[in-house]
Structure 1
Amino acid sequence: MKHLVTTTVLGLALLAAAPRGQAQTADKKWGIGLMGNAFQYKGNYGSDYWNFSSNKYGPGISINRYLSPGLDLGLHGNYAELKGTQNAGNTFATNVVNVNLALKLKLNNGWAFKEDAVVQPYLLAAPGWTYTSRESLYNGARNDEDKSYFDLFGAAGINFRLSESVGLFVQTGQHIPLNANIDGDQNRDDNKWDDRFLQHTVGLNISLGKAKDTDGDGVPDRKDKCPDTPSGVQVDENGCPLDKDKDGVPDYQDQCPDQAGKAELQGCPDADNDGVRDSEDECPDQPGTAALRGCPDADGDGVADKNDKCPDTPRGTQVDANGCPLVVDSDGDGVPDNVDRCPNTPAGTKVNAIGCPEIPADIRKLEQPVRFRTNSTQLLPSSYPALDKMVRALKDHPEYSLRIVGHADSRGTAEYNQGLSERRAASAKRYFTGKGVDPARIPTLGMGESAPAAPNTSSSNMAKNRRVEFRFEFYIPGQEGGATPQP
């Protein structure tokens, strides 16, 4: 029959056009639909709408393209044979082929339903083309006709997500082929939709192809929160490597996968937080150093406390394997290097208790205090000669430094006098640095009113307390002020 040929041609054409290797989801953007339809005619011979005993059945097929979470585009094709009888002289049997370009508005767009929801309602607007091939009698005379029309089609439906690749859908819509004469009745109304029909559909949307999965972990790139996972690594539903102990270090990189640990220790625990993993820590309950396999060394001599027989050795002292000092006197001055503030003083030099040379008496005589006016930090010109002698001594003896200590009388608050004494010491220091003396050799200190030279009971005594004092010391580079000789 003519309608069977038409159906076969349409089906083959649509199947040939269906793309392979893709799918109609956010991951696979192409799909194909296979449909079974029930058609119900309405026209000049009456209405079969919602009368399911009068259904006329036919197949359908569609090609669908994902556009966005809320929209799909589809090309739909359907076939039906509509029949009707008004009386013995007025009958029709019309083959109908529809091809429609459908825009689907999906309600599972993240607003009412999630995109991967099981229930996915939608609306369909699908203008298209309708071809009719009619065999009919009108008032007993043959009234056959083959003709095409512009078709308006709108529908509503629900898709049920069975899996990532298959969905079952049901849909109902109405076709209005404009100016169509499906039943052959020659008495036409003024409008363009005398003859139309409902289409009730049940079908399958089938996903074709494979979602893009760059790292090959089985989770599509769109859902993969860890898209660069190395090949072969086990992942969770989000595409991220498994992390059994939940410590932020994936199992494939975790050297202690059953114990929560630290990323910097490849996922291994460190109970005492000393940077040495517990499995390698010989003192796991005491913070230590990596060099001593996690054990502490209180005196810093390189021997772990648990092995140190002399745990209180001064820092910098050379020790033996038991952590006890080696008696070393590099300069032969009788003072062991571990307490010698001047360990490189030539042997034979007269030394004091800290291993540094004594400051000669003629240098000590230069240590004359300098006085200031009340609430002043300005040096008096009368002090310049004494200061210049100290400058000369520093230039002649680069091994010396000069400590400057500022003082104040008791007038004013203690806080103010402390700041005043510091400013006085700084003023004196500027005099020396202005003469070319290295600032590192001029340490300063402010004592406020805490160390008076005389009781603050008279003007003359207060004048004695407004002063800076000087103290020559042995200069050791890197130690501000150098060593402090014993008096």
Structure 2
Amino acid sequence: MNYSTIKKAVVFSLVSVLGLGAASAQDSTMTTMSSTAKVFGGRAQYRTWSFGLNAGVLAPVNVLGGSNDFTNWDVKLGYGATLRKQLGHAFGLELGFLRGDASGNNADAVGGVKNNRQEFTTELAYSGSIMGVVNVATMDFLKRENNVNFFVKAGYGIAAYSPEVTYGNGTTFNWNGVSGENRDEKFVQEQFIPVGAGIKFKVSERINFDLGYNMYFVDGDNFDGTYTSVGTNDKFSYGYGGLEFSLGSSAKPNLDWANPVAMMYDELKDPTLRQEVEALKGRVSTIETTVSDLLKDSDGDGVADKLDKCPNTEAGIKVDGSGCPLDVDGDGIVDSKDSCPTEKGTEELNGCPEMSSGTMAGYNNIQFEFNSSVLRTSAYPTLDKLSAEVRANSAMQIQLDGHASAEGTEEYNMQLSKDRANSVKTYLVNSGVDASKISTRGYGESRPVASNATEAGRSQNRRVEFRKR
């Protein structure tokens, strides 16, 4: 190929670039941006698939130079198609297909012959590749969407081709049908590494125009039908222009042209978005206040004020689910103040029931010393008599009621009264009475039988009474 042809191709490409760039710029100034995406939210809000058709010059050389088996190359048509999935605003995967012819000659060699070859033409039956495509720069990077993008790409591919060679004596040989190790394949099949770069222009929301240049490094020295020295694998290139069509819903913009960095920058200056953020802050503040009100518990009983039917419960009082003090036995005295919380009683007896009778007939109360639950020896005759009666009567069951005088706290006296009742039970069980026939109960200081104002009265209150069940 002579230099005049190269110049014409270059001039044509530059005119195309400038013309499409101007059209794109005019379109961007005359129309408003159609993208509905204000905030970058991932691929779901964009079109990510695109299909392209292209055509251009297929040549058995590339711009990097290197050794060539022929001194000249010819302009031949190549054409192809692409299918790309954009995985992010800057990266995608592209399947590529390419067909065409490549040819060269030795017109500039001595006698028009080199390596006993005059010329060759290679039919590229197909070339399939997968390449990663990276958008590396934009000409208007501060806009939400770009109208010009630069890209580079590289990957892996397989090509099938058949060279036809004209030897120095004028005879020809075509590799079609005699390729492969056994010389029975229609085409030579070789792996190659594709590397490319280009620029794309946004024509519309659906279409962009691409200019690109791909180099293909073949894993073999047979693309031009000529073997030379070891380590000089062949290569070819493809300079092209084409249209790419964005696939998917028209309601979504194309991810190719999105710029998340510009979006975030633009959001800072967008008064509408700032107003929306302030409105959201107000709503969050209102919700937080509402939640705080719902959780407010003024009396600290564990039930929120909104659900508390007894909002002024005293501290430390156990309450039910509605926030009212617990009263299990329903006697009108809350459990926290009820000395007998499981029995209906009277307020005078701190929630305990009236005593229906005193100690069993024929038995005296068991008296105790101050602050003591130890039995006196004087109590043994009474307890032995009771033991004999209970053991003799299989149906008889008794209850031991422990009491205390008013010295000390109510809690302490309640425990002391229980200890006194259990002390009597222990004696009776040790004397042979079945433990299951005896129950105990402590009443603390709630059931005095005499005044706690005198020592004589207090002494009578330190007792255990017997009661049939």
**Higher RCO (CA-CA < 8 Å; seq separation 6+):** 2
- Greater share of helix: 2
Interval containing the TM-score (normalised by the shorter chain): 0.3 to 0.5
TM-score (norm: length of structure 2): 0.40
